Structure 1
Amino acid sequence: MNCVDFRLKELDVEHFEIREVLRCILHTVLFHRALGLVRPKDIDLELFDITYVQCGDVEVEKKIDEKIEHFIERVEKHPNKKNEICLSFYEVKNKQATWFSNKVERLYWEQWYINLNVAQHPKAHSSKSHHSKAVVDPGESASEERNARRAALELSLREVLFQIIKFVNEKKDHVPSVPNLEGVSFPYEITISSSSDSAFGMEMFKRMLQTGHPSILS
């Protein structure tokens, strides 16, 4: 099976913006991969003038929030690295049973890569950025800089949402038939890596070959 990769535009964010940005992107992708009847829920972002749609499933929301917390923990441990989240969809295939287990295999058919470049010290930057601008009012300069950066991020986030819509509308042939499984989405998983993790590519390749007992909302 051929796996289709979608790489979304890299976003420059500050630490306090991570949750909203990732929720918006991950839920948007999952909404477009929703199965059957869902209860769409409009969500207005607090930091940006953007509204996105969730599937309205508590388990999906919980899983995404857990992964976002793991992502934030990784950012705090590796502040100088670009960090990436990969949302992968797969099919579950039964492999030949043995005496000890009935193994299943994950066949990946789509992967979404989300890259965030998180500012290292946003608070210090905001408070000290005016020292080299003696002519301009410090408070006004810092405020203008923050507003300009926030406007640029909002524009970029909108571009990412349009990217998602464009991708799902243009590429459909690789999407498998609807599985006879419970859940609001195709089986999926969310993995996290840093840009310097040289083993990440090989890890993902090995994961495509590995066996296990996946759950739908893993």
Structure 2
Amino acid sequence: MNGTHATVTIDIVLDRQNTREILCALLHAILFHRLFGTIRPQTFEVLDVTMPGVADPTMEQLVEEKVETFWKGLENVALKRGEIAVTLSKKDQRKAWLGITTYEEEVAWEQWIINAEIRQPKSEKERQQFNQNLAATLSKSLRVMLSHTSSEQGRSAVPPITNSDVSPFPLKISVRVGGAELG
């Protein structure tokens, strides 16, 4: 956790075959735990791990777009690694010059960072071991999500919810590959 908001990091090594599916599932799982409006749940089965998700067309489109941006960004770099960050913010009223006027400022209250690297198994035996490790990493990621969101720190980070929108807080998903933010 940094000085202003909680940061939860998930490190994962993927192969080309499962990258899109797993990143979509991870983003959906984060959103499932951090969208506070009325949502329809859905599940994703990835390598025999059941991941929760959100059945909302706007969120599904956002997730698909960001994963596709990540995927296309990897085509242009030698090191096949990058990050996808989900930042949740609240709107605070700030006083402007001499306190005469006010303005709204978005202040992050939590950030989830998925550090992803793509490697390719070379043999069938290596692929089996790779998939077992990947499934274990997905399960561990779910445990991290659950323990953070159910912890005192995770619950106390959530600002007051003032509306029933699917996402009552400003939500931003950013993609970085090769040190540059994409899309």
Give the drift of 1:7. Answer: 1.3
Once the two structures are superposed, residues 166-204 of structure 1 have per-residue CA deviations (whole angstroms, 9 ceiling, x without a partner) of 11111221110113363345321011123x62x87xxxx
Once the two structures are superposed, residues 78-135 of structure 1 have per-residue CA deviations (whole angstroms, 9 ceiling, x without a partner) of 13153111110001245679xxxx964211100011111112xx3xx63xxxxxxxxx
Equivalent in the alignment of 1:7: 9
2:23 maps to 1:42: no
Once the two structures are superposed, residues 137-169 of structure 1 have per-residue CA deviations (whole angstroms, 9 ceiling, x without a partner) of xxxxx2212111111111111111111111111
Q: Distance in 1 between matches of 2:103 and 2:65?
A: 27
Measured on the aligned residues, the alpha-carbon RMSD in Å equals: 2.5
* SS of corresponding position for 1:152: helix
Q: Distance in 2 between matches of 1:184 and 1:164?
A: 18
Whether contact under 8 Å (1:30, 1:185) holds in the other structure is no
Equivalent in the alignment of 2:160: 177
Paired residue type of 2:6? V
* SS of corresponding position for 1:190: strand
Equivalent in the alignment of 1:147: 128
* SS of corresponding position for 1:182: coil
Equivalent in the alignment of 1:57: 56
- Tell me how many residue pairs correspond in the alignment: 173
Structure 1: which 5+ runs fail to align?
Answer: 127-141, 201-218
Whose strand fraction is larger, Structure 1's or Structure 2's? 2
Tell me which stretches of 4 or more aligned residues in structure 1 moved more than 3 Å.
93-97
2:46 maps to 1:17: no
TM-score, normalised to structure 2, is 0.83
* SS of corresponding position for 1:51: strand
Whether contact under 8 Å (2:40, 2:54) holds in the other structure is yes
Q: What is the identity percentage for the equivalent residue pairs of Structure 1 and Structure 2?
A: 26
* SS of corresponding position for 1:90: strand
CA change 1:19–1:81 in 2 (3 A) is closer
Paired residue type of 2:24? R
